[in-house]
A = this chain, B = another copy of it.
Amino acid sequence: MTGLLIYKFIESLFKIPRSLTGNGVRETLSKIKNEHIPNLSIYEIRSGEEVGDWVIPNEWNIFSAFIKDQEGNLIADFKENNLHVMGYSHPIDKKISFKELNKHLYSLPDYPHAIPYVTSYYRNNWGFCITDIVRKNLKDEEYDVFIDSSLDKGSLTYADLIIPGKQKEEIFFSTYICHPSIANNELSGPGLATYIAKWLHNRSNRFTYRFAFAPETIGAIAYIAKNLKDLKKVHAAFNLTCVGDNNSLSFLPSKKGNTIADKVARHVLTNQHDQFKEYSFIKDRGSDERQYCSPGVNLPMVSIMRSKYGEYPEYHTSLDNMDFISPSGLDLSYQMHLECIQILESNYFYKSSILGEPFLSKRGKNYTIIGGRESYESKSSQLILDIMICCDGSLDIIDIANLLGKYAFNLIPTFHSLEEDGLIEKCE
């Protein structure tokens, strides 16, 4: 089961302290490149460079951090969980009062066992994130706070991979690599992207495939700024996020709502056993489709997800960890995305090469020759007739599958066989 391989790879990335920028991102991308995708290209953009409406921030690196009480007890320790430090905290080494410390603490009263994930990218600040249980037990005394971090000119790191196909039109997968120890809402995406890329690598593909691994929001904006021309060739795009747990299926359509990406994703999701929930782009968007579907870019990008960001209690806390996701959860995501790919690869508009129905008797395709009251065609013959009456050049195989109440993925061999037999042909 590929899901298990993805799970194990994610596990090996879990403790790396990623952020918008810094060595955690570089280490994550290096492991993907060295262990799985040698062709991965890694890029750096200097702090201060303008991308779109934005400016690349200074690079942040974090080495160590803790809070100690007067007896030397560790209240929070970065070594134990890198979520304890608010992202982009500047260095500090100071004894402060509880009252002062309390202004820099973040916890979740409704989820007292969870460490929240908090960042402060664009304001000079520092902070610690702890469970509400720990916070409630803090005494009104002095505390030693220590953060060994650096926040200076540097660069933002991202990566991409192009797998050329017969056509220049691209299928694009985007995922983000900026959250530290978060499983579903971070590593499930890069993990799945890595294994989809591996699956595609040695195949002869119709479409060209593009993968981008970048920090969320500003990374996507930077990627658009650098690659806008190439992105115009995107035929279908998938944002890979929250693909790791096994609790539910979710779908976020593209902004246009009816692109080929929406069509194939809805078709694959509809043909899964479980029900899925379709969200609204306008009301519920929240990941990099905010950039990739923005005006002037407007890619046909959808998200096929398990539990969607913002919609499960563990979201953006220490509870979104390796126990929250599972090999089977990842595996279904993997299968669904591969089925989208395989349907898209075979998704042509076909037209019948003959007038009227085919004379199946002479072709020996399970054609039952006793006619009359009983259905005189076997079921597979009926399927051939049903497919062929739809092949008028105006419908692709997903349309035809939807019309016939079938799953397009399962019809692919029949279309290929009809084409080989000269009964149907692709429209140019």
- A binding-site residues for B, Cβ under 8 Å: 52-55, 86-87, 106, 108, 116-123, 125, 217, 220-221, 224-225, 228, 255, 282, 285, 290-291, 293-298, 315-317, 351-352, 354-359, 361-362, 369-373, 385-386, 388-393, 403-404, 423
Contacts of A385 in B (CB 8 A): 290
Measured in the bound complex, the distance between the Cα atoms of B119 and A372 in whole Å is: 6
In the assembled complex, how far is the CB of residue A307 from the closest CB belonging to chain B, in whole angstroms? 15
* A372 and B296 in contact, given A290-B389, A356-B53 (Cβ under 8 angstroms): no
CB within 8 Å for A221 and B282 given contacts A293-B389, A372-B106: no
Of the listed residues A282, A351, A355, A393, the one surrounded by the most CB atoms of chain B closer than 10 A to its CB is A355
Specify which chain B residues have a CB less than 8 angstroms from the CB of A317 in the assembled complex.
Answer: 373
Given contacts A119-B372, A290-B385, A296-B392, contact A52 B356 (CB under 8 A): yes
A373-B120 in contact (CB<8A): no
Known contacts A52-B355, A221-B357; is-contact A282 B386 (Cβ 8 Å): yes
Q: Which residues of B contact A388 (CB under 8 A)?
A: 294-295
A and B contact pairs by CB, cutoff 8 A, 17 listed: A52-B356, A54-B356, A86-B372, A116-B373, A118-B370, A121-B369, A221-B356, A221-B357, A255-B389, A255-B392, A293-B389, A294-B389, A296-B354, A297-B355, A297-B356, A316-B372, A317-B373
Inter-chain CA distance A403–B255, complex, in Å, is 12
Q: Evaluate contact between B295 and A389: CB separation under 8 angstroms.
A: yes
Partner pick for A53 among B220, B359, B391, B403, CB 8 A cutoff: B359
User: What residues of B have a CB within 8 angstroms of the CB of A282 in the complex?
Assistant: 386, 389-390, 403-404
Residues of B within 8 A of A87 (CB): 371
Of listed A125, A282, A403, residue having the most chain B CB within 10 A = A282
Q: How far is the CB of A302 from chain B (nearest CB, A)?
A: 15
Distance in angstroms between the alpha carbons of A225 and B357 in the assembled complex = 12
Given A357-B221, A362-B55, A386-B282, also A352-B294 (CB < 8 A): yes
Q: Indicate if the CB atoms of B224 and A355 lie closer than 8 Å.
A: yes
Q: Which of B86, B295, B315, B354 is within 8 Å of A352, CB to CB?
A: B295
The complex places the Cα of A396 from the Cα of B267 at a distance, in Å, of 31
- Compute how far the CA of A293 lies from the CA of B54 in the bound complex, rounded to whole angstroms: 51
With a CB–CB cut-off of 8 A, which chain B residues contact A404? Answer: 282
Instruction: Indicate if the CB atoms of A357 and B389 lie closer than 8 Å.
Output: no
Q: A369 and B120: CB pair below 8 A?
A: yes
Closest 4 A-B residue pairs measured CB to CB? A118-B372, A316-B373, A295-B392, A295-B352
Known: A369-B122, A373-B315. A356 touches B224 (CB 8 A): yes
Given A221-B357, A355-B294, are A369 and B123 also a contact pair (CB < 8 Å)? Answer: yes
A228, chain B: closest CB distance, angstroms? 7
In the bound complex, do residue B392 and residue A356 qualify as a contact, i.e. CB atoms below 8 Å apart? no
User: Which residues in B have their C-beta under 8 angstroms from that of A121?
Assistant: 369, 371
Chain B residues, CB < 8 A from A358: 53
Q: Is the CB of A359 within 8 A of B120?
A: no
